[in-house]
Amino acid sequence: MARPTVKAVLLSPQRALGDKPLLIVGPSLGTSSLLWTQAGALLGDDVDVVAWDLPGHGISPAAREAFDVAELADAVVELVDSIAPGTRFHYAGVSLGGATGLQLGIKHGDRLKSLSVQCTGAKLGTPEGWLERAETVRTQGTPVMIQGSAQRWFGPGFMERQPELSSRLLHSLRDADRFSYAFCCEALAGFDVRAQLGSIRVPTLAVAGMEDTVAPPSFADEMVEGITAGGGTATAVALAGVAHLAPFEAPAKVADLLRNFIAGVEKAGVEQAGVERAGVEQAGVEQ
């Protein structure tokens, strides 16, 4: 296995990085940065929003060999270091992008300010199911997944209300590299971090869709329980009428959740820095 290469798209206004907190947002399998375009625009006044694409999806190059979810997390850190070396960042990801977020929290927690895992779980599906899908897509291409994905991705009535938007996202699936998609399936087949959730120490927000059949709200509760059992801080929110792509189906709700969550983390960080600074100054006072 080898670390893949991922590329990114800026979703917030063009400006010098560093003036605002940095938010990296990750995609679901078969989608692209389009998944986050609306929510990113709504967040753009408050944070710098950078969306990355999975290998062979959107603008990211196709993968040449297999990788696991931990190596996707490594690739995200490498991406951040290419645009803002050493910067600590907030992260939000959906499904496979959320699984990548959990690996970031486990393996690269020192780089994270906060973590939002959306429509995902510490384990998704079964290894057999993912390996079967990988083989199907390798032989028949990604268009074979469009009908099933449309049923899983969107809550009741969404495609009727937003036909053009949902069609554009399904085109991302159609245009994805079949072999890279298969590698992503195989990465998910080997993904299970339930026993490692207790090592996550960054503030975590789990967002679920009440209509999600892939990662139902019980998955968000399981992640929160695992993180808090290890001494971490985590909360779960379930959104009515939403299936598997929360920031696409309910961009305003997700943007509000993230805005408030990130603002709270940033405020706590400033207050903690002030306490630490005051402690250092007091320690230096001669008695």
pLDDT in tens, 139-180: 999 999 999 999 999 999 999 999 999 999 999 999 999 999
| Helix orientation angle between 127-140 and 178-189, rounded to the nearest 10 degrees | 170
**Interval 125-144 mean pLDDT:** 98
If you compute the radius of gyration of the chain from its CA atoms, what whole number of angstroms results? Answer: 19
**Interval 178-206 mean pLDDT:** 98
Alpha helices in the chain (DSSP H): 37-43, 69-83, 96-107, 127-140, 146-153, 158-161, 163-175, 178-189, 217-229, 246-249, 251-283
User: Could you state, in order of their start, the residue ranges of all structural domains in the chain?
Assistant: 8-283
pTM, 2 dp: 0.94
Q: What percent of the chain has pLDDT over 70?
A: 94
Q: Tell me the one-letter amino acid at 48.
A: D
Cα dihedral value 138, 140, 141, 144, nearest 10:
-130
pLDDT in tens, 209-235: 999 999 999 999 999 999 999 999 999
| Helix orientation angle between 69-83 and 96-107, rounded to the nearest 10 degrees | 80
CATH 3.40.50.1820 fits 8-283, yes or no: yes
- Asked if residue 48 has pLDDT above 60, the reply is yes
Cα dihedral value 141, 144, 124, 127, nearest 10:
-60
**Are 5 and 62 in contact, with CB atoms under 8 Å apart?**
no
**Are 246 and 207 in contact, with CB atoms under 8 Å apart?**
yes
Determine how β-strand 48-52 pairs with β-strand 112-118. Answer: unpaired
pLDDT in tens, 249-273: 999 999 999 999 999 999 998 776 5
